[in-house]
Chain A
Amino acid sequence: MGTKTDKEGREIVEIRYEMAIPGTFATGPIMGHMLNKLKDKELWGNRCGKCGNVLFPPKIVCPKCFEEPTEWVKLDEWGYIATFDVVHFPTVNPLTGIMREVPYTTLIVALPNGGGFFHFCLEHDPEKLAPGKRVVPVWKEEREARPSDLEGWVLAED
């Protein structure tokens, strides 16, 4: 709340306000199942019966075929880097209202059985990262059925 003085010396009203509306987002049985399995340190996707693609995060319908997936698939605990971003621009995580520390690295993990998803990478040196490199997940000690149960992904040691 309050006022400030503008460049021309006039007093103008500037209301500062943090909008922080609490929400409860319904997961449904499919995302709910996948998120619950994160607590067991397991990654589960589902497979389309028609094209055989594995979908992670799991979907209600296969986006290519419009068919319902027919089985749950437990994913291997590794993937490849499809692409990555080492970000030096701080942004706020709107779900928590907390500013992210920079640099932070986002990446797209490509799964060996097909498909890919966004997550964080714990390696921030762009020299060490490249598309095609193997990555493995790092799990948090305390898990709450959220994507952040995975701390992030690191380069696999060969």
Chain B
Amino acid sequence: MYTTDKLPLDQKDCFGKRGLMSIPYRYFAGVFLSRALIALRDEKKILGARCEKCDRVYFPPRSRCERDFSKITELVEVGPEGTVEELTVVNYEEEYFKKFCPMLDIPYTMALIKLDGASTKILHRIPGDKVKRGDRVRPKWLDDDRREAMITDIEYFEKV
């Protein structure tokens, strides 16, 4: 540990001061992305953004194509089924996570899923630990009164 040979110090004086870093936030999705999130809530439809120039379809949608910087205004339906491309099994729980959204029981799988018709993969969860690369999955939606226009309106994906 750090010492100085000039000033008398006592190791027992060291302690951990407890505190928070507490700041309130409001995140805006923007008009374009809001349309897609609201479609999740109201229509149980998954909408991706299609770049006219290069034909890539991004989900989650975004209003700029990252490759050619053109503006995207078109939303097209993707999925609802998809293929698991990558995965990892989570065996770890923390109280703090539950503050933001309902959690699945451990063990559960975090997977990168390529929805049919999309050029990008999305990160979502699948219950249990028996998932393999290449598995076909489909969304399990939350009940009508619990959906809030967030990605977690799809509670999880399940094997077809």
Contacts and interface: CB of A to CB of B under 8 A. Distances in A.
Interface in B1-59: 2, 4, 6-11, 13-31, 33-34, 37-38
A28 interface: yes
Contacts of B2: 28-29, 60
B7 A72 contact: yes
Interface residues of B, number: 36
Given A28-B2, A32-B15, A49-B6, A97 B22 contact: yes
Contact of A25 (B4, B7, B19): B19
Contact of B19 (A16, A33, A96, A145): A96
A43 to B, nearest CB: 15
A40 to B, nearest CB: 13
B16 A26 contact: yes
A95 B20 CA distance: 5
B150 interface: yes
A125 interface: no
A32 B19 CA distance: 15
A149 to B, nearest CB: 12
Nearest to A33: B13
Contacts of A97: 20, 22
B17 A25 contact: yes
B26 A15 contact: yes
Interface string A80-97: 000000000000101111
B149 interface: yes
A68 B33 CA distance: 56
Nearest to B152: A1
B25 A46 contact: no
Give the bracket for the number of chain A residues in contact with chain B: 35 or more
A15 B14 contact: no
Interface in A83-133: 92, 94-97
Given A12-B31, A20-B22, A95-B19, A32 B13 contact: yes
A22 B18 contact: yes
B92 interface: no
8 contacts: A12-B34, A13-B33, A22-B18, A22-B19, A25-B16, A25-B18, A33-B13, A95-B21
Interface of B: 2, 4, 6-11, 13-31, 33-34, 37-38, 96, 100, 148-150
Given A14-B26, A15-B150, A21-B21, 7 more contacts: A16-B24, A23-B18, A46-B7, A68-B7, A72-B8, A92-B24, A95-B19
